[in-house]
C-alpha cells in the first residue's frame, strides 16, 4: 500500500485553526487590547507552527529532488530504449542460416532454425527421454555453426531492451514498453525467443523477463511442444495473470490521499 499526501498548505491552515481553538479554549480567551497578550499569542503560534513548517519544507524539498531524479532517470531510459528499439529490426534481418549450401536470412532463417532445433530435440528425446533438458540444449547449440553466431547481436539487443525496461522504466509504464517490444515480433521470432530462454542456465534472467512481461502471449493458442512449454511459468503465455494495480483516492479535509493496492489475479 502506497500513500501519498498532497496540498500541505491545507495542513498548515488546519494546524493554525486547531492551535487557535486550543488556545482560546484553554485560557477562556477573549479579544484583548493588551499588546503584550497578543505578543504572547504570536509566540505561541510561532513556536507551535515553525517545526511543522520546517518539516513540510523538508518534505517538499525532498519531493522536488526525488521528482527531478525520477525525470532524469526516465529521460536516460527513453534514450536507451529508443536506441535499442531502432536497431532491433536491423539486427533481426542479419540473422542467417546455412543449409545444404544455401543461405537464408531474417524471418525465413528463424523459421528453419526453429524447426531444425525442435525436430532434433524430439529425435534425441525419443532415444533418451530421461535427459530432456540436455537433449534440448544439445539440439539448440547444434545449429550454432550453421548460423555463424549471427543471432547473437539480435538476442543481446532484445535482452537489453527488456532489461532496461525492467530496471529503469517507471513501474506503471513497464508493461506498455514491454508490449511495444513484443509487438515487433512475428510468431516465428517469438518461438526463437522462447527457445533461447531454455538454451542455457546462463539465460535465466532473459527467461524470467519473458515470463514477467508475458512476451509469449501471442503463442498462447499455438501448438507448442508440451515439455518445452511447461518449462515456462503460465504467465509467459497469459496476460490475465499479470499483477493488477487497483488505484483509489480519498479526499480528507481538502487534501488527497492516493492509495495503490497490488493484488494477484487468480486465473483458472
pLDDT digits over 198-244, tens only? 999 999 999 999 999 999 998 866 677 888 999 999 999 988 877 55
Contact between residue 67 and residue 59 where contact means Cβ atoms under 8 Å apart: no
Tens place of pLDDT per residue across the chain (268 aa): 334 444 566 666 676 667 667 666 666 556 666 666 666 666 766 776 677 777 777 777 877 887 787 788 888 888 888 888 888 878 888 899 988 888 999 889 999 999 999 999 999 999 998 999 999 999 999 988 888 788 888 999 999 999 999 988 888 899 999 999 999 999 999 999 999 999 999 999 999 999 999 999 988 666 778 889 999 999 999 888 775 544 444 444 344 445 444 444 444 3
Bridge partners of 258? 4, 249
For the chain, the helix, strand and coil percentages under 3-state DSSP, each to the nearest 5: 70, 10, 20
**Which residue bears the cell 481553538?**
21
DSSP-derived 3-state class of residue 99: strand
Q: Tell me, what DSSP letter sits at residue 131? A: G
Neighbour-count burial of 210, counting CB atoms closer than 10 A to its CB (0-12 exposed, 13-18 middle, 19+ buried): buried
- Answer for the pair 233, 211: CB distance below 8 angstroms, yes or no: yes
Residue 101 Ramachandran class (φ > 0 left, ψ -120 to 50 alpha, else beta): left
pLDDT at 12: 64
- Give the predicted TM-score (pTM) of the model: 0.68
Burial of 87 (0-12, 13-18, 19+ CB in 10 A): middle
CB 92 within 8 A of CB 108: no
Q: Is 185 exposed, middle or buried (0-12, 13-18, 19+ CB in 10 A)?
A: buried
Q: Which helix (H) or strand (E) holds 105?
A: strand 102-105
Classify 101 as helix, strand or coil: coil
Beta strands in 49-194 (DSSP E): 96-99, 102-105
Q: What is the pLDDT of residues 90-110, one digit of tens each?
A: 888 889 998 888 899 988 999
Q: How many CB atoms lie within 10 A of CB 92?
A: 23
Amino acid at each position: 500500500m502506497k500513500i501519498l499526501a498532497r496540498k500541505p498548505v491545507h495542513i498548515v491552515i488546519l494546524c493554525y485553526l486547531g492551535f487557535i481553538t486550543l488556545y482560546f479554549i484553554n485560557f477562556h480567551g477573549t479579544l484583548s487590547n493588551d499588546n503584550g497578550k497578543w505578543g504572547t499569542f504570536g509566540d505561541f503560534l510561532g513556536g507551535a507552527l515553525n517545526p511543522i513548517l520546517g518539516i513540510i519544507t523538508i518534505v517538499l524539498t525532498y519531493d522536488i529532488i526525488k521528482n527531478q531524479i525520477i525525470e532524469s532517470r526516465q529521460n536516460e531510459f527513453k534514450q536507451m530504449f529508443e536506441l535499442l528499439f531502432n536497431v532491433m529490426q536491423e539486427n533481426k534481418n542479419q540473422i542467417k542460416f546455412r543449409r545444404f549450401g544455401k543461405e537464408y536470412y531474417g524471418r525465413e532463417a528463424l523459421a528453419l532454425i526453429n524447426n531444425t532445433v525442435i525436430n532434433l530435440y524430439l529425435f534425441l528425446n525419443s532415444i533418451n527421454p530421461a535427459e530432456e533438458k540436455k537433449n534440448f540444449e544439445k539440439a539448440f547449440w547444434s545449429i550454432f555453426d550453421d548460423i555463424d553466431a549471427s543471432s547473437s547481436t539480435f538476442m543481446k539487443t532484445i535482452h537489453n531492451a527488456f532489461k532496461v525496461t525492467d530496471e529503469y522504466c517507471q513501474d506503471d509504464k513497464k508493461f506498455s514498453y514491454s508490449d511495444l517490444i513484443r509487438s515487433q515480433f512475428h510468431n516465428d521470432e517469438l518461438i526463437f525467443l522462447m527457445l533461447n530462454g531454455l538454451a542455457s542456465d546462463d539465460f535465466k534472467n532473459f527467461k524470467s523477463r519473458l515470463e514477467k512481461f508475458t512476451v509469449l502471449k501471442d503463442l498462447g493458442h499455438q501448438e507448442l511442444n508440451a515439455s518445452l512449454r511447461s518449462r515456462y511459468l503460465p504467465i509467459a503465455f497469459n496476460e490475465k495473470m499479470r499483477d493488477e494495480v487497483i488505484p483509489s483516492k480519498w479526499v480528507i479535509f481538502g487534501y488527497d490521499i492516493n492509495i495503490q493496492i497490488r493484488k494477484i489475479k487468480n486465473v483458472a
